[in-house]
Structures are given as C-alpha cells and as structure tokens.
Amino acid sequence: MRNSPFAIAMALVAGIVFGVGLAISQMIDPEKVKNFLDLAAIPSGGWDPSLAFVMAAGSAVAFVGLRFNRFMRKPVAAPAFQVNTKTRIDRRLVIGSAIFGVGWGISGFCPGPAIANLGVVPDAVAIFVAAMLAGSWLTGAIVEWSNRSSLEPSQAVAK
Amino acid sequence: MENFTPLTAAIGGALIGLSATLLWIFNGRTAGVSTISGAIFPFHRGDIWWRLAFLIGLPLGAAFGFAYGPTVFAEIPARLPTVGIGPVALVAAGLLVGIGTRLGGGCTSGHGVCGIARLSRRSFVAVGTFMATAIVTVFVARHVL
C-alpha cells in the first residue's frame, strides 16, 4: 500500500500537534513524569497529578475522534481504517507492559516524549531512543521468528 | 502540589487527543508511538513514509511548543527537561521500554490515550500494569536505594 503525499503530509501534521501537546503539558520533562509516579510524595504535598490530567483530556478528545469512522466509508487520505481487532489478554501483554513500566520508571521517558525530545535536548535522549528502537526491533524479530517456528511448515508458507 | 499544572496538562492532553483524531480520520491509523516507531524497521515497502512523517513531526512540534509554551502559559517554566540518570541507566531503561512496548503491543499513547478512548480491555490491563510497575520502580529509586 503506497502512501499518498496527502496522507504523508497529514501524518506530519498529526506528529507536530502531538509534539506540541507533549511540550505544552511538560510531559517531555522526565522529572515531571516521575513526580506523578511518586505516590509516596502524596502525604508531603509534593505529588504532581498533571500526567493524569493529560491522559484524561487526551482520552476524552480521542473518545469522540476515534469514533468518526462510524460516519465515514474510509479515511480521508487512505483506503481503509486499520481497526485493531485483538481482544485476548495474554501473558505477552502483561509481561511486556510490566517491563515497559520499569524502564519508564527508571528514566521518566516513554516512547513519545523520548522521540519528541530529539527536538529539545537531542544530546541527552539520543542514546535512550537508540536503545529503545534496538530493543523493539530485536524483540519484534524474535517474536516473529518464534511465531513462525511454532507453525507447521505448510502454514508458514501460507502465511 | 506546588508543581501541579492542571490547565496546560489538559490543553496539552487535548492536543494529543486531537493528533490521534487527525491520524485516525485522515490515515485510518492509531497514534501509538511505540508501534509506529517499531514498524519502521524492517522496511515495509511503500508503507513507511507516513510513519516517518509522524515521527519527524514529534520533535518539530515539541521544539515549537517548548520555545513558545512558556511565553503563552505562565504555568510552564522555561527550563530544559532534566535527565536525572547516567548513560548506563539510560540505555538500560531504553532497552526495557523498547522490549516491553513491543511485547505489550503499545505504550502510553497507543494503550494509554487511544486504547482507553476505544474502551479496549487489553489497553486497560496494559495501562494498569505499566502504571503499577512504574510506580513501584520510582518508589524504589527515590525512597529505597
């Protein structure tokens, strides 16, 4: 599936709006993220609930926006909506999310703010982003390989 | 709660929701940063450019928001994000984030904002799990070690 120039331009716009949102909400500052995760600071009054407001506002807008496909035959700049059909809660989901949370807690960076910071403090986040992409790509290759080897040869060909 | 910035948190969050809406209605795609960045390699013929464009937009938008945010909103301090850990911890954390989001199928944007908006049960489980381990990790790093 080839991307039209219009689709690529709108993805760029979406990325820019996302990046502005991360900067305005200060989610690009890992210390602010950690100040949310630090629940032990609640009694002393040092806790910062901002991150919860970011997620709540983002989800509220997306709650409406991600339902527009009900009134559209197809996306404006692409042939079809790519609907996520996974529903099973499996070990991979839980273990992966648990591992992600540890890395997030150590650094205060999740993928969006880390990549966005390449435009703000590139020297500080470059190695984090490189390690993150390497970890994701390596894991993706291993998962794909293990999925393939667990199939019968005929299925693997059909896939 | 001297650091609490509810106004800019809500505005910034709404912009993230708007971004997810734009990517959905124009491209039919979910704005999940870990999934988008994880899928640029190995290359998928022809379907790479929207991903690269979105990922290039992130730092462009953040640079703009960082430059002008503090002048528009008094709430935002004009100081650079501070990375409080050394390079070894940074690489280790990056690997954990990359491995974990790939296995778990998403991060704070894909599961957090979009998944919750779609009322996906998988995403509620993912968010509850990574929030819990992140909270424990910060507790250990700040109050135990």
Task: Please write the tens of the pLDDT for every residue from A40-84.
Answer: 999 999 999 999 999 999 999 999 999 999 999 999 999 999 998
Residue A157: band (very low, low, confident or very high) from pLDDT cuts 50, 70, 90: very low
Q: How far apart are CA B33 and CA A35, in angstroms?
A: 22
Structural domain contains residue B116: yes
Residue B35: band (very low, low, confident or very high) from pLDDT cuts 50, 70, 90: very high
Report residue A27 as tokens.
Answer: 């989610």
Per residue in A119-128, pLDDT tens?
999 999 999 9
Side chain identity, residue A35: N
pLDDT of B79 above 70: yes
Polymer length of chain B: 145
Report residue B132 as tokens.
Answer: 């819990």
Cβ–Cβ below 8 Å for B57 and A40: no
Q: Is B104 on the interface with A (CB under 8 A)?
A: yes
A-B contacts (CB, under 8 Å): 520
C-alpha A4, offset from chain centre:
24
Say which of A24, A127, A132 has its CB closest to residue B98.
A132
Residue with tokens 């506002």: A57
State the average pLDDT over residues A85-113: 96
Per residue in B14-32, pLDDT tens?
999 999 999 999 999 999 9
CB A36 within 8 A of CB B78: no
CB B85 within 8 A of CB A43: no
Structural domain contains residue B74: yes
ipTM for the complex shown: 0.97
Q: What H or E segment, with its residue span, contains residue B131?
A: helix B121-139
Q: Domain containing A33: what range?
A: 5-158
Structural domain contains residue B1: no
Q: Domain containing B78: what range?
A: 6-144
Q: What total of structural domains would you count in chain A? A: 1
Q: What total of structural domains would you count in chain B? A: 1
